[in-house]
Chains A and B, each alone.
Chain A
């Protein structure tokens, strides 16, 4: 699947190709516009935003909004910037993503290579769980978290994201492993490898493409979550999105749009980087199984 020397290409005249490029570039503009607005306005002084055109380049460049958003903007009563919340988010996202990915991989492995009576129903139930609107679980979830003694902690948030991530991770891995030759598993069984040895030595080393898709998907979802973060966190476990919201949608007072935009970009940076760095593998991974849905 490496570097496909595809020849789907329509062979057309120079004009056709020119039109293609024009259309592609128009859409590049469409997709970049909001980001452009955010970036441009995050390096303008507030005065210029009030008086000027949102599309214009800054006349005076300033990095002050960025510094403010990161380290001393007012979030609640603390002029702490977004920094401490960034760390909370990392502490939440990393275990949630890793655990749900590992569980998803194991589930996918069982559901394709160790099928048992009723495996279809189990998979169906896991998959359907992707589709519930999260608002409905807030109250019962709060009670369960309280019962487990993890309410308001990062571990509680990890648990929540784990639970509601399993469906998707299982789906991804199951579709990928369904195309993985069962004969390899059989060969390994004859070689004497057990359940976990086969998983660890045979399947996992070949799972990179789908792991990338799963990790990107989970990382984005967990990082961007607001609802759970706002409902299940304490003062010391508030994730980045909730802090950003506190920064951006304060009820009264002067809106420091430049700081808001800088903060928004900061909050989006990890997911952006993940997408841009691994976007290539993302398409490849989709190709390797996830697309089949």
Chain B
């Protein structure tokens, strides 16, 4: 009976082990996918801050696919009744989890620290569920940036484009100069990041109608056909070797002058700075032409789960995340801007300051929208349905009209 006894032993040993490894009251277990050096360094700020408050940090990174692997792991953990204390999460994932009723309540901390006043309403949309705080936002990334190599820009006329036509002209000029105008990586989310910007360039109302309200008329209308036409134009500015390329490799192409520009969220800035480039001197950061004054954002938040023990540590962590010092330190490293609007911009560089100003402006004039590409405009199923169509079109499977029609169908099927 050796094996049977062995199995029993394992199981009972396992039960004891389980008891031993449950996070103790003064620890937080954090599930996230910030595993690169800079991000980890930024998180370390938080970890050390918590350490001074006597709260231990149990690290549970699951990298890959922009958090996809982490979300799978989270689902298994929650199903097993073994939720982590806090989880890095984006956009509609937060809403989905909130709907499952498994999240904690941060109202006490939020009230004490006055979060309602300092967090923009568009963010609160995700941080609150049924009027209760459930998550602490860490940052705001804006995704409608264009990063241009200054030398390449100068060689092609030197003026940063402000309209779509100027943009096309600039890219044609770059092409004539023998470089790839647009550095791009052929991954669904990167294609969709371009798409976001192009949709937004057709106007705030159109973005809201098509991407947020998912209005079929907007999704399949003439303006959407125009969007796809512009996407096709952008595709013609990309080299043939783009498929599957990581975004940071695309950044590298701009950095070393192989390509003229990249359309990417503000995290790309870190690549430029790390390569020793200076804003305005070596590279230029502008909003995608036609989207000046508007921002599509995504926001990383630490979502707090409803756990039996360790609520105190959880609250301490929430408070630390919202601490202006941390917000500043973290976002300087990460390239994003703070989630609270009252953080001083002293430590930020040129593009960072610009980003904070844009965010404030967009927030006040109704031009701040969740990014479809990054899961802040619609639920995951819809987001992926949009990915499917955009990517298929970008890879030449559809004509513009077909793509617009397909977009209506795909979004409908996913709802």
A78-B59, A242-B62, A253-B39 given; A152·B3 CB < 8 A: no
Contact with B37, one of A158, A249, A254 (Cβ below 8 angstroms): A254
Q: Is the CB of A155 within 8 A of B17?
A: yes
Contact with B15, one of A141, A150, A154, A238 (Cβ below 8 angstroms): A150
B267 in contact (CB, < 8 A):
yes
A151-B18, A231-B76, A236-B21 given; A250·B3 CB < 8 A: no
Q: Which of A129-185 contact B (CB under 8 A)?
A: 138-139, 141-143, 145-146, 148-156, 158-159, 162
A103 in contact (CB, < 8 A):
yes
| B57 contacts across to A, CB distance below 8 A | 77
Q: Is the CB of B60 within 8 A of A234?
A: yes
Residue of B nearest to A145 (CB): B80
How many chain-A residues does the 8 Å CB contact rule pick out? 52
A106-B3, A234-B29 given; A76·B14 CB < 8 A: no
Q: Is the CB of B80 within 8 A of A76?
A: no
Q: List 13 A-B contacts (CB under 8 A).
A: A77-B44, A77-B61, A142-B75, A149-B18, A153-B14, A153-B21, A155-B14, A230-B72, A236-B21, A245-B62, A250-B33, A250-B63, A253-B39
Task: Report how far A255 CA is from B2 CA in the complex, Å.
Answer: 49
Q: How far is the CB of A162 from chain B (nearest CB, A)?
A: 8
A231-B72, A237-B21 given; A246·B61 CB < 8 A: yes
Q: Is the CB of A155 within 8 A of B11?
A: yes
Q: Which of A182-202 contact B (CB under 8 A)?
A: 196
Q: Is the CB of A99 within 8 A of B6?
A: yes
| B15 contacts across to A, CB distance below 8 A | 148-150
Task: Report how far A180 CA is from B190 CA in the complex, Å.
Answer: 59
Task: Report how far A95 CA is from B114 CA in the complex, Å.
Answer: 52
Q: Which of A236-262 contact B (CB under 8 A)?
A: 236-238, 242, 245-255
| A253 contacts across to B, CB distance below 8 A | 36-39, 248, 270, 274
Residue of B nearest to A228 (CB): B76
B43 in contact (CB, < 8 A):
yes
Q: Is the CB of A102 within 8 A of B14?
A: no
Q: Is the CB of B36 within 8 A of A252?
A: yes
Task: Report how far A236 CA is from B1 CA in the complex, Å.
Answer: 32
Instruction: Apart from A76-B59, A99-B3, list 6 A-B contacts with CB within 8 A.
Output: A74-B40, A149-B18, A249-B35, A251-B34, A251-B66, A253-B270
Q: Is the CB of A76 within 8 A of B76?
A: no
- The 9 tightest CB contacts between A and B, nearest first, are A155-B14, A253-B36, A146-B80, A76-B61, A151-B80, A250-B36, A142-B79, A250-B35, A231-B76
A102-B2, A235-B29, A246-B62 given; A150·B35 CB < 8 A: no
Q: How far is the CB of A19 from chain B (nearest CB, A)?
A: 37
Task: Report how far A103 CA is from B5 CA in the complex, Å.
Answer: 11
B132 in contact (CB, < 8 A):
no
Q: Is the CB of B21 within 8 A of A249?
A: no
In the complex, how many residue pairs between chain A and chain B have their CB atoms under 8 Å apart? 174
Q: Is the CB of B75 within 8 A of A254?
A: no
| B75 contacts across to A, CB distance below 8 A | 138-139, 142, 231
Residue of A nearest to B61 (CB): A76
Residue of A nearest to B20 (CB): A153
B116 in contact (CB, < 8 A):
no
Residue of A nearest to B67 (CB): A251
| B13 contacts across to A, CB distance below 8 A | 155
B376 in contact (CB, < 8 A):
no
Q: Is the CB of B36 within 8 A of A146?
A: no
B47 in contact (CB, < 8 A):
yes
A235-B59, A249-B64 given; A151·B47 CB < 8 A: no
A232 in contact (CB, < 8 A):
yes
Chain B's interface size range is: 35 or more
Residue of A nearest to B6 (CB): A99
B7 in contact (CB, < 8 A):
yes
Q: How far is the CB of A215 from chain B (nearest CB, A)?
A: 15
A77-B47, A77-B59, A230-B73 given; A148·B36 CB < 8 A: no
Task: Report how far A196 CA is from B1 CA in the complex, Å.
Answer: 8
Residue of B nearest to A106 (CB): B3
| A251 contacts across to B, CB distance below 8 A | 33-36, 39, 63, 66-67
Contact with B17, one of A154, A162, A247 (Cβ below 8 angstroms): A154
Q: How far is the CB of B11 from chain A (nearest CB, A)?
A: 7
Q: Which of B341-386 contact A (CB under 8 A)?
A: none
| A74 contacts across to B, CB distance below 8 A | 35-37, 40
Task: Report how far A232 CA is from B15 CA in the complex, Å.
Answer: 15
Task: Report how far A107 CA is from B67 CA in the complex, Å.
Answer: 41
A75 in contact (CB, < 8 A):
yes
Q: Is the CB of B72 within 8 A of A138?
A: yes
Q: Point out which of A99, A247, A249 has the most chain B C-beta atoms below 10 A from its C-beta.
A: A249
Q: How far is the CB of B225 from chain A (nearest CB, A)?
A: 33
Task: Report how far A238 CA is from B15 CA in the complex, Å.
Answer: 18
| A232 contacts across to B, CB distance below 8 A | 76, 80
| A255 contacts across to B, CB distance below 8 A | 246, 248
Q: How far is the CB of A185 from chain B (nearest CB, A)?
A: 19
Q: How far is the CB of A153 from chain B (nearest CB, A)?
A: 5
Task: Report A39-79 CB contacts with B as 1/0, cut-off 8 Å.
Answer: 00000000000000000000000000000000000111111
Task: Report how far A145 CA is from B35 CA in the complex, Å.
Answer: 27
Residue of A nearest to B31 (CB): A235
Residue of A nearest to B19 (CB): A149
Q: Is the CB of B79 within 8 A of A252?
A: no
Task: Report how far A145 CA is from B80 CA in the complex, Å.
Answer: 6
| A138 contacts across to B, CB distance below 8 A | 72, 75-76
| A153 contacts across to B, CB distance below 8 A | 14, 17-18, 21
B163 in contact (CB, < 8 A):
no
B69 in contact (CB, < 8 A):
yes
Task: Report how far A157 CA is from B122 CA in the complex, Å.
Answer: 41
Q: Point out which of B10, B32, B38, B57 has the most chain A C-beta atoms below 10 A from its C-beta.
A: B10
A251-B66, A253-B270 given; A234·B21 CB < 8 A: yes
